[in-house]
Amino acid sequence: MKDYIIHDEWSIIEEGFNPENQRVSESIFSIGNGRMGQRANFEEKYTGDSLRGSYVAGVYYPDKTKVGWWKNGYPEYFAKVLNAPNWIGISVFVDDMELDLHTCTIVEFRRELNMQKGFLYRNFTAEMPDGKQIAVESYRFCSIAEPDAGLIQYSIQSVNFSGTLKVVPYLDADIINTDSNYDEKFWEEVDRGSNQKQSWITAKTKKLDFQVCTGMQVDIVFNGEYQSIIGDPVDRDRFVSKEFSKEISPGDQVTLYKYAAVVSSENHSKTNLIATCQRILEKVYKKGFVECLKDQEKAWKHKWSESDIVILGDVAAQQGIRFNIFQLNQTYTGEDHRLNIGPKGFTGEKYGGSTYWDTEAYCLPFYMSTADPKVAENLLLYRYNHLKKAIENAELLGFKDGAALYPMVTMNGEECHNEWEITFEEIHRNGAIVYAIFDYIRYTGDEGYLLRNGLEVLIAISRFWAQRVNFSNEKNQYVILGVTGPNEYENNVNNNWYTNHIAVWCMEYTMECLEKFRQSHSKELEGIIEKTGILANELDNWKNICENMYYPEDSTRGIFLQQDGFLDKDIRNVTELPKEDYPINQNWSWDRILRSCYIKQADVLQGFYFFEHKFDLDKLKRNFDFYEPLTVHESSLSPCVHSILASRLGYLEKAYEMYLRTARLDLDDYNNDTEDGCHITSMAGTWMSIVKGFGGLQIIDHQIHLNPFIPNGWEAYSFKINFRNHILNVKVSQDKVEISNRSTEMLRISINGTFHQIEPEQVEEIVA
Amino acid sequence: MKDYIIHDEWSIIEEGFNPENQRVSESIFSIGNGRMGQRANFEEKYTGDSLRGSYVAGVYYPDKTKVGWWKNGYPEYFAKVLNAPNWIGISVFVDDMELDLHTCTIVEFRRELNMQKGFLYRNFTAEMPDGKQIAVESYRFCSIAEPDAGLIQYSIQSVNFSGTLKVVPYLDADIINTDSNYDEKFWEEVDRGSNQKQSWITAKTKKLDFQVCTGMQVDIVFNGEYQSIIGDPVDRDRFVSKEFSKEISPGDQVTLYKYAAVVSSENHSKTNLIATCQRILEKVYKKGFVECLKDQEKAWKHKWSESDIVILGDVAAQQGIRFNIFQLNQTYTGEDHRLNIGPKGFTGEKYGGSTYWDTEAYCLPFYMSTADPKVAENLLLYRYNHLKKAIENAELLGFKDGAALYPMVTMNGEECHNEWEITFEEIHRNGAIVYAIFDYIRYTGDEGYLLRNGLEVLIAISRFWAQRVNFSNEKNQYVILGVTGPNEYENNVNNNWYTNHIAVWCMEYTMECLEKFRQSHSKELEGIIEKTGILANELDNWKNICENMYYPEDSTRGIFLQQDGFLDKDIRNVTELPKEDYPINQNWSWDRILRSCYIKQADVLQGFYFFEHKFDLDKLKRNFDFYEPLTVHESSLSPCVHSILASRLGYLEKAYEMYLRTARLDLDDYNNDTEDGCHITSMAGTWMSIVKGFGGLQIIDHQIHLNPFIPNGWEAYSFKINFRNHILNVKVSQDKVEISNRSTEMLRISINGTFHQIEPEQVEEIVA
């Protein structure tokens, strides 16, 4: 837990340099535009503790896995997002001594991530070891309008000295990836070059041959006058630079504009990579830094108009939620269905930058509600395009006849994870893929998606479940043995209620969809039947399984059991744990965690969250009252689900407590791990805690239902959602709810159980 | 499955060279004397496929572990037996062309492991690529009489050429360990030197500073006349050699005697290592090869007189069982309580050469019955001396107050394994440590061992169990959650019957021993009570747990259940498995194995084997009939237990079938993995299959009970056991049992339920 970020409604601000928090700051102040991202490393040299990171969306490396004891079915590689060639570098020399904040005396320092306008700002005054002082001011952003471009304005002023100032903007492709299993370098040079205006390096990954051409074009302004670059450019293996030297006196200022382009073979033809890079450089250079920054502000204005949440009366909360929305929008824009949302986004390498079930379970609702429906559809298409590989993955594990198991962790559809209890057993993830389709259709009404792509996925996953169950003669019912539920603090259990439930739900939903289209779209359906080869007796089998599935329950307590045998545990509430045992995943051996009753994240309750429409409040209350007190919330994905359910139950304090645990998770470095990157996917959970939790948003029968409440300390809060071409702004105050409807049509919305007609471009006021 | 070893009663023979089996042969033809061991690598250069291995008992390396996903409690290193400096090397040059069987035409080749006399013999005639033929004959052994010495006699005769023969005996400490996690070399040189007579290298391991001085002294005989070595000795980093050149003609013969000493800091002071090496070299050199070989034959004669098993009418079976006894005696002599029995002995690096529960469960009975009781006691002392580390190991996992958990895999008492489901959960191993003490006392009658050492171990292990159980309110009984039983094809299960049973048995046995000594040796007991701090209320707690332990059972079938929920599985006999699925551990993904009903090795039945005296035959029969058909025997430790139980049940065909699966496991490379080394620990199981299975040996109330039967195809078999200073020879024929008693006292023995008095030095004949 840290507390050095200054509270502000629209900006993340650090005043005074905190080198001990540099890695954390580098994560928090990251910038990105969905296609590239950059940790808040300094432009100039920095020899203090730092984790450098430039990331290019979709470019990854299949690193050799590190496995202690190999198991059949383990993947051969672990895909990881790569630290890519450095485009931000600017070396600064004061009379041949290089500027390095690690060795300078820092007179003044401030950095600010301007979330409203989408740029990173920094200024500082540094005294060199020989007493010379310079003042530096920099702006940096990854352009939304020109997503292959990053721009820097970097000004240096002499405070107290006369002498030579040398500025060396450079590109460096000699890159180390901290997260390399065998300390290998992943990049090699393909080409590099310079001309009068531009410099570039094309580098390729040693495997898979991703190519990235990184280029720069620079302008130097001295006391307001444009200068020409002089000095021999340095040009060595994987490195190019330009150089500018000037004799300066106190008060003189040199400003460098560095226009960079990061052009990847994922988006451009390899043969034209350099030309493309040069064209983009020329384009942004012509437009100029100031105009490009204006475009950036405009683009962010648009994003905020669809996704902002305003909290009045609590600046820390306001900053927290805006930070989360900002980072989510920096990470994924939904324009490219090959991309997805890594747990750390563009803010770190950890977890490889790959896709987890977080996307379907936590991120989809955010993007669905705050952007064009196409964005959410692209998240679904990502999985649809991986269907073939999911079928191959299931085959590797002994399944057949078109059954699909989506990977636990993936970049391109192939499994990347190798812990047997997760890779092979945490199969509930397959259910989340189906749930996302259901959720998308429920929200958007786009049932056509099923015919276009969805049904094929549904059928393949249902086939998996039908093969994964077995009939227990002992129980005279179907069971699912050997699984890991969402609560990863239990491994290889039998009949995890959540898994059994979502398995049956998948099969039922698939059959329901097939039945519906059999009546309405029999012709289109025929194509799908032919393509998948689905047979009537398969459906009979599914039906039989669904009707005869076993669910562990405790009838005395009226709860579902997390798994068989759960009640044999020594059941004591988390409050009985000694403080020094927290977090148990750092203090207890794994077996002790496994046999304890403690729950990492929602498991049975994840089912109540997903299938809110299937269980009444009494049932929810009994299960919540039993399981939440056993939950240690040691996953960043845990508190949001509990917050939402607590809101539903009217446990307002619990709801707010759980919300607080995620809202400023990274800003306050709550778990002491933000140095590795921000918790991007759980940020969507924070958003949900407000919209689905405090706001009580549900979609029932194509209509919005709200049951809002407002936490005690807040004056008011408002959120925006984009629902079927209506951009709604819902403002909740202590005594009323105001709703506006930016669209061309009236919308009927249920508020606290009563329907209201919200006319377009009007504000409806409802007394709470 | 291979079949290239020629069947012979006393020797292992290969006729004609099988390069495709070279690694397998290198394992099978290994030699050792308990203090050093050597794979059957060629003395001369060999560039074909080969796994080189020279091993020095007790010298190991703590290699950095390779872990995919770290878990709290994992050890930092994995101890492994090291390939040590090469003492066998002899380079042979024919007119400057080096002899290498991989590039020669092999005219004739034969090798023989003479088990009766304890040496490796080889002869071959090779044609060099230029047509020159030489005939080579070699003898090699690790001396039992002088256990730091290895001796080689190596003769080369020109068949068809006149020219220069150069012979270069060398020592090489530039050693590669195949089994290195990060491709590191483990040895570095401390010192090397030569004088007129001797050469030596002292090498040390990069960690832990084990030092080994390897020396040689050589004699050259040319056509029967001793020669002096000429030629400059080569002396480079980690390498020394001598050199002898001679012009020879067809029929001429050069014989090299290479006397080697391998002197380790485990047994000799580091400061005197070279002097010790020189002294030993001088000693064996003086004695001469022929006399030393005579000593070797004598030592083996003695070993066989205590441990031989004779099978008449089945040469393959005879060879198989003698091979097993031979290798067991080569691996462990019981003179040093710091040593133990690695799964591969001195025949390979796999499994790190560390100690597993194999020792207590499988090996102890062999050494107990075929050698001085001191040997078995040393195996117990090995664990006693590790007690402090076992307590520390338990503390790492959250246990306290002197509870001990012995490691799954260890060299020096510290845990070396890192699969959580094994390391943290396969805790039944703790029970085997106690069982070995019980078994030792039952066999030897040495109850004093408990007061000397045993009780401390018993108390510490009972404390572990008492903390490892928890009370289930649901069951109103104690349970043991989250374990892996002996059947490692189930992980993290609840209430493994075997584990629950052995846990309670440990506590009961400890309490029983305490009670007994309270009456008979109260004073000595007081010392132990003080040392361990054991309290009366601890015993009350143990008693309570023992009386209220839950055991999973199926009352319908009248069987114990392997674990909770076992009957929910899809239960089908192994015979229903398609052949191509075998072995399932190579063909199925791990989750599929786990949720299947298939059993790797005896689990419930391990309990019936250990606790034979606690269950009647009906109970055994019901459990055997249920579990054996579900068992795939994919551990080399599986068939022997089933063979013994089948013998007891009178399932004679099953007993013999199971026996066959282990008896020639390595000779016929049954599992296609002998190239990694021989299955040393399971060899003890083969011995048990005959003595405890076919012979029906049990010790009840200090007396031997035999219930012998003889497999159909055999004329007769006999085995020797050393029981309380009586060396008994039991010979079983189709129609009678003959027993002789080499000792000074009569012994009462029960045969098929009737007691007989076996007088010393007489043969008692009993009609079966």
Q: What is the pLDDT of residue B178?
A: 80
Distance CA B604, CA B601 (A): 10
Q: Collect all residues of chain A within an 8 Å Cβ-Cβ radius of residue B493.
A: 492
Residues with Cβ within 8 Å of residue B441, at least 6 apart in sequence: B447, B449, B450, B454
For testing contact with chain B, the best of A484, A589, A597, A598 (most B CBs within 10 A): A589
Question: What average pLDDT does the structure give for chain B?
Answer: 95
Write out the two tokens for B323: 């091979």
Pairing, β B703-706 against β B747-751: parallel
Asked whether residue A768 carries a pLDDT value surpassing 70, the answer given is no
Q: What is the DSSP letter of B233?
A: P
Structure confidence at residue B65 as a pLDDT band (50, 70, 90) = confident
Catalytic pick from B488, B490, B628, B675?
Answer: B488
Distance from CA of A472 to the nearest CA of B (A): 5
Asked whether residue A733 carries a pLDDT value surpassing 80, the answer given is yes
Write out the two tokens for A44: 């100039």
The single residue listed with the structure tokens 């000792």 is: B743
The string of pLDDT tens digits covering residues A1-30 is 888 999 999 999 999 999 999 999 999 999
Distance CA A32, CA B355 (A): 54
Distance CA A633, CA A628 (A): 9
pLDDT, mean of residues B14-42: 97
Q: What is the DSSP letter of B347?
A: S
Residues with Cβ within 8 Å of residue A215, at least 6 apart in sequence: A171, A198, A199, A200, A201, A260, A261, A263, A274, A277, A278, A280, A281
Query: How many CB atoms are closer than 10 A to CB B361?
Result: 27
Helix and strand numbers (H, E) in chain B are 22, 34
CA of B584: which chain A residue's CA is closest? A72
CB A140 within 8 A of CB A119: yes
Overall size of chain A counted in residues: 768
Q: Collect all residues of chain B within an 8 Å Cβ-Cβ radius of residue A424.
A: 589-591
Which residue type sits at B125? T
DSSP string for B167-230:
EEEEEE-----SS-TT----EEEEEEEE-SSEEEEEEEETTTT-EEEEEEEEEEEETTEEE---
ipTM of the complex: 0.93
Q: Collect all residues of chain B within an 8 Å Cβ-Cβ radius of residue A68.
A: 65-68, 418-419
CA of A471: which chain B residue's CA is closest? B570
Contact B473 A567 (CB under 8 A): yes
Contact A471 B570 (CB under 8 A): yes
Q: What is the pLDDT of residue A231?
A: 67
**How far apart, in Å, are the Cα atoms of A359 and each of A81, A334, A337, A341?**
17, 12, 13, 6
The string of pLDDT tens digits covering residues B102-153 is 999 999 999 999 999 999 999 999 999 999 999 999 999 999 999 999 999 9
Q: Collect all residues of chain A within an 8 Å Cβ-Cβ radius of residue B72.
A: 585-590
Q: Give the percent of chain A with pLDDT over 70.
A: 99
Q: What is the pLDDT of residue B162?
A: 96
The string of pLDDT tens digits covering residues A249-270 is 999 999 999 999 999 999 999 9
> Is the torsion defined by CA of A595, A597, A603, A607 positive or negative?
positive
Q: What is the pLDDT of residue B70?
A: 84
Residue A379: which of A369, A388, A391 has the closest Cα? A369
Distance of CA B645 to the CA centre of its chain: 22
Which of B491, B568, B587 is facing A479, going by the closest CB pair? B568
Structure confidence at residue A518 as a pLDDT band (50, 70, 90) = very high
Catalytic pick from A44, A349, A415, A488?
Answer: A488
Contact B589 A398 (CB under 8 A): yes
Which residue type sits at B171? L
**How far apart, in Å, are the Cα atoms of A327 and each of A114, A321, A715, B585?**
12, 10, 25, 45
Structure confidence at residue B768 as a pLDDT band (50, 70, 90) = low
Which of A66, A492, A571 is facing B492, going by the closest CB pair? A492
Residues with Cβ within 8 Å of residue A44, at least 6 apart in sequence: A90, A91, A92, A98, A99, A100, A101, A136
Structure confidence at residue A362 as a pLDDT band (50, 70, 90) = very high
The string of pLDDT tens digits covering residues A537-571 is 999 999 999 999 999 999 999 999 999 999 999 99
Query: How many CB atoms are closer than 10 A to CB A527?
Result: 12
Contact B72 A585 (CB under 8 A): yes
Which of A475, A585, A595 is facing B481, going by the closest CB pair? A595
Residue A504: which of A611, A421, A400 has the closest Cα? A611
Distance CA A335, CA B679 (A): 59
With helix as H, strand as E and coil as C, how does A453-498 read?
HHHHHHHHHHHHHHHHCEEECCCCEEECCCECCCCCCCCCECCCHH
Write out the two tokens for A371: 């952007």
Distance CA A515, CA B41 (A): 70
Q: Collect all residues of chain A within an 8 Å Cβ-Cβ radius of residue B474.
A: 567-568
Burial class (CB in 10 A: 0-12, 13-18, 19+), A611: middle
Distance CA B721, CA A480 (A): 51
Asked whether residue A685 carries a pLDDT value surpassing 80, the answer given is yes
Distance CA A718, CA A713 (A): 15
Which of B65, B66, B568 is facing A474, going by the closest CB pair? B568
Contact A592 B472 (CB under 8 A): no
Which of B398, B571, B588 is facing A592, going by the closest CB pair? B398
Q: Collect all residues of chain A within an 8 Å Cβ-Cβ radius of residue B71.
A: 589-590
The string of pLDDT tens digits covering residues B87-110 is 999 999 999 999 999 999 999 999
CB A757 within 8 A of CB A746: yes
With helix as H, strand as E and coil as C, how does A500-515 read?
HHHHHHHHHHHHHHHH
Contact A569 B470 (CB under 8 A): yes
Q: How many residue pairs bridge chain A and chain B with CB atoms within 8 Å of each other?
A: 131
Contact A481 B586 (CB under 8 A): no
B538 assigned to active site = no
Q: Quick check: helix, strand or coil at residue B724?
A: coil
Question: What average pLDDT does the structure give for chain A?
Answer: 95
Q: What is the pLDDT of residue B491?
A: 97
Contact B587 A72 (CB under 8 A): yes
CA of B422: which chain A residue's CA is closest? A591
Which residue type sits at B743? S
Distance from CA of A80 to the nearest CA of B (A): 15
Structure confidence at residue B154 as a pLDDT band (50, 70, 90) = very high
- The β-bridge partners of B110 are B15, B123
For testing contact with chain B, the best of A595, A596, A598 (most B CBs within 10 A): A595
- The β-bridge partners of B719 are B309, B730
Q: What are phi and psi of B328, to 5 degrees?
A: -60, -40
Distance from CA of B548 to the nearest CA of A (A): 14
